[in-house]
Structure 1
């Protein structure tokens, strides 16, 4: 059986394609998102770290694990590498290309942490910030940006209230150019903080930030663990899995 660590468009697409080909698979979701889009065979919830995942791989006789989680889901990616190495199970990762080769990437401020991103915005003197780092990290920017107008966009609300000067926008991509242009203009955004997630669904904000002459602060991806076969997309993963 193939275990797909999902929660992304790539994970859903891969499982659906495996289903169509009659290849046994199970998509695993962390359970952090309400009303997730599901495929035929799904389990929801954590494994209990690398040790729990190792037990699952052994008990279910998993032959291959495909890590199709978000590029910034470093915890499960690390646990998958440890468990697969211990179990002798092949590990693949669908690693969608990031935005390092974006036409405007050399204009952005690239940082390695949320603290560095907040400090960069303060140093730039930005006063109206679009923050798109996900609900789990939104409040990492408080209190550093409490005195600024921050439009925090996330698919679900953070675990605690936002500072008084901030606003929350609940939205899930894909986002259009027209919609991002309206948002930047309406909120007079002069700085964007985001992750190097890659893909097309959320890329419109990068073009609009350039049009609006807004600064872009980009969080670099965590480095993948050793021993992982990196694949650029679902097609590459499907081709390898179809070979057996």
Structure 2
């Protein structure tokens, strides 16, 4: 049995290569479970592993290999998986998508959401498009009245935005990834002068966000894992 730590587009690519191998996919979000369970019914587990629960699961299910295709920002599960696989002496295979290394002269890079939010607030932008997701949207509560949050179309995501002070009219609930042209159109629609995002790696739509900001000539604030 192979355990795939997943929830990204890379996970689908890995599954294609497994042929008739027996596997199970673990995801940590409601969105991930919904999407993957449609395509791989009875193969998806919705859980957030700790070192203890992962160790127990691997032993109970006789897992022979762990493939990590989690989000580049999901540092905790990657750390836990490496630690557990090393302790149990089973192969750990890293298939996390590579972070984009693209530079833009109006890009400001931060390693924490707190620092990114503080910078945006200090700069006093008039219209900010925030695309970092709902998990950290509360960090931007101080600029909710001048910002638009683009998040996944789930009740939990919408509620997180509302709790952070975003009005319904400032929540854009859509599923990506989005093209460069779509990002440009949205930037123009809300007259954005700053685009906040995170570096989610190759194939995540991050490159399209950069090119859109460059063509529109606006500032970009990026949160990137250390």
Q: Secondary structure, in 3 states, of the residue corresponding to 2:135? A: helix
CA distance in structure 1 between the aligned counterparts of 2:119 and 2:137, rounded to whole angstroms = 16
| Segments of 4+ moved more than 4 angstroms | none
Q: Secondary structure, in 3 states, of the residue corresponding to 2:79? A: helix
* Preserved CA contact (<8 Å) 2:110 2:223: yes
Which structure 1 residue ranges, 5 or more long, are not aligned?
223-244
Q: Does 2:171 match 1:168? A: yes
Q: Does 2:172 match 1:207? A: no
* Preserved CA contact (<8 Å) 1:16 1:39: no
User: How many Å apart are 1:177 and its aligned residue?
Assistant: 2.2
Which structure 2 residue ranges, 5 or more long, are not aligned?
none
1:190-228: CA deviation from partner (whole Å, max 9, x where unpaired): 111111112234232211111111111111114xxxxxx
| Counterpart position of 1:99 | 100
CA distance in structure 2 between the aligned counterparts of 1:72 and 1:199, rounded to whole angstroms = 13
Supply the RMSD in Å over aligned alpha carbons.
2.0
CA distance in structure 1 between the aligned counterparts of 2:201 and 2:5, rounded to whole angstroms = 18
CA distance in structure 2 between the aligned counterparts of 1:2 and 1:171, rounded to whole angstroms = 32
1:123-162: CA deviation from partner (whole Å, max 9, x where unpaired): 33212111111111112211x323x421101113244314
CA distance in structure 2 between the aligned counterparts of 1:129 and 1:47, rounded to whole angstroms = 32
Residues 108-187 of structure 1: pairs in structure 2 closer than 5 A: 108-142=107-141, 144-146=142-144, 148-155=145-152, 156=154, 157-160=157-160, 161=162, 162-164=164-166, 167-187=170-190
1:219 to 211, 223, 226: 223
CA distance in structure 2 between the aligned counterparts of 1:185 and 1:118, rounded to whole angstroms = 22
Q: Normalization by structure 1: what TM-score?
A: 0.81
Kindly tell me the number of residue pairs found equivalent between the two proteins.
216
1:52–1:164 Cα change, 3 Å: closer
CA distance in structure 1 between the aligned counterparts of 2:210 and 2:170, rounded to whole angstroms = 20
Determine which structure has the larger helix proportion and give its number: 2
Q: Secondary structure, in 3 states, of the residue corresponding to 1:145? A: helix
Residues 3-18 of structure 1: pairs in structure 2 closer than 5 A: 3-18=3-18
Q: Secondary structure, in 3 states, of the residue corresponding to 2:200? A: coil
CA distance in structure 2 between the aligned counterparts of 1:48 and 1:178, rounded to whole angstroms = 38
| Counterpart position of 2:191 | 188
- Larger mean CA deviation between 114-123 and 39-48 belongs to 39-48
